Amino acid sequence: MSILGRLSFKDQAFQLREDAILDAATRILASKGFDLMTMDDVASEVGVSKPSLYKHFKSKDDLVVAAMIRLIDGALAFLGKLPDEESALGRLRALLAWALGVRLEGGLPFLPSTSPNVRNMLTRNVRYVTRVLKLNDLLKGLVGEAKKVGDLNPTLPDEVILFSYYSRTCDPAVEYLRLYTKMADQQIIEHMLDVCFHGVALSGADGFRG
């Protein structure tokens, strides 16, 4: 039985409304950014009053933290559902494909790097930091496994690989490719994966090739 199925009708309605609020906040954050987003924007998007909105989230900061936590929880859940036989590199590719798909559907990048206000707010939130550290540890383990079997460059520090990986979820090339080319979203994702894991040089050129 799903979580919603175990809730009373009133609690189900509350949860569904909260999900709608988080969906709306995510869309507005993706289009306007944290600094320009207001609680009025979110209430209007969902079609609820501000008092109703504040029953779910006490402030814009609380709402944004919840949206980012939901994103990280989604990433953790996605990783947990991948087949046991999937390689470390396969898991990294699959998660990045998932993250780019979420982004193209109007979601948020893993790293809110474009907003110092959001970054500072999130790093002060224990619930968010705990989840990020869990995800980071999992990904760092996958990077280590992939390096051991020669799928990733063993001379690069783990942190360089990890933050390069995270940065792909913030890369504006995704929007440019959608705006200025005729590529379908899946094509964009595949090309971004190739650039991330294989670079842009021809195979056999100077440098490492996994």
pLDDT in tens, 54-101: 999 999 999 999 999 999 999 999 999 999 999 999 999 999 999 999
Task: Give residue-wise pLDDT tens across range 114-132.
Answer: 677 788 888 899 999 999 9
User: 193 and 120: one domain?
Assistant: yes
Domain at 185, CATH number: 1.10.357.10
User: 35 and 136: one domain?
Assistant: no
Q: Could you tell me the residue range of the domain that residue 6 belongs to?
A: 1-58
User: 159 and 108: one domain?
Assistant: yes
What's the whole-model pTM score? 0.86
Residue 197 CA from chain centroid, whole number = 18
Residue 113 CA from chain centroid, whole number = 12
Task: Give residue-wise pLDDT tens across range 23-40.
Answer: 999 999 888 888 889 999
C-alpha distances out from residue 210 to 101, 132, 142, 201, Å: 25, 28, 15, 13
The residues near 199 (Cβ < 8 Å, ≥ 6 apart) are: 207
**Residue 182 confidence class, pLDDT cut points 50, 70, 90:** very high
User: 3 and 22: one domain?
Assistant: yes
User: 135 and 155: one domain?
Assistant: yes
User: 20 and 123: one domain?
Assistant: no
User: 181 and 196: one domain?
Assistant: yes
pLDDT at 205: 54
| Domain termination site, one of 58, 80, 101 | 58
User: Do the beta carbons of residue 8 and residue 49 sit within 8 Å?
Assistant: no
User: 165 and 76: one domain?
Assistant: yes
Tokens of 99: 């993250």
Domain at 29, CATH number: 1.10.10.60
User: 89 and 162: one domain?
Assistant: yes
Of 72, 58, 60, nearest to 32 (Cα)? 60
User: 173 and 210: one domain?
Assistant: yes
User: 151 and 90: one domain?
Assistant: yes
User: 85 and 53: one domain?
Assistant: no
Structural domains in the chain (count): 2
C-alpha distances out from residue 173 to 43, 66, 113, 166, Å: 31, 27, 15, 14
Of 117, 106, 105, 119, nearest to 166 (Cα)? 119
| Domain termination site, one of 58, 79, 95 | 58
| Domain termination site, one of 58, 78, 94 | 58
Q: How many Å from the N-terminal Cα to the C-terminal Cα in the chain? A: 44
Question: Is pLDDT of 53 > 90?
Answer: yes
